[in-house]
Amino acid sequence: MNIERLKEIREDKDLYQKDIAKVLNVSQQQYNKYELGINSIPIEKLYKLADLYETSIDYLVGRTNERKPYPKK
């Protein structure tokens, strides 16, 4: 997991951890653990993050540097 990217993309959107935690239906403390790399993010939460940030899961986890999302089916 590319934890720096997760924080970077959130800050690029001028969002706080509490904002993202609300979208993911987790506590701010839980989301903070995701950003710090303490806890793994469940796949369903990654789907929500990719949709929210209009990017791919691969970008979020550092498998690609291409920020734009894949085409929808």
How many structural domains compose the chain? Answer: 1
Instruction: Give domain status of residue 25, yes or no.
Output: yes
pLDDT band of 5, cuts 50, 70, 90: very high
Instruction: Give domain status of residue 72, yes or no.
Output: no
Instruction: Give domain status of residue 68, yes or no.
Output: no
Q: Choose among 62, 66, 28: nearest CA to 46.
A: 62
Instruction: Give domain status of residue 38, yes or no.
Output: yes
How far is 39 from 12, CA to CA, in rounded Å? 23
Instruction: Give domain status of residue 66, yes or no.
Output: no
For 20-69, write each residue's pLDDT tens digit.
Answer: 999 999 999 999 999 999 999 999 999 999 999 999 999 999 999 988 88
pLDDT of 68 reads: 86
Domain hosting 27: range is 3-60
pLDDT of 8 reads: 94
Residue 73: exposure state from Cβ atoms within 10 A (0-12, 13-18, ≥19) = exposed
Give the CATH number, domain containing residue 54. Answer: 1.10.260.40
Instruction: Give domain status of residue 71, yes or no.
Output: no
The letter for the amino acid at 18 is K
Instruction: Give domain status of residue 40, yes or no.
Output: yes
pLDDT of 70 reads: 79
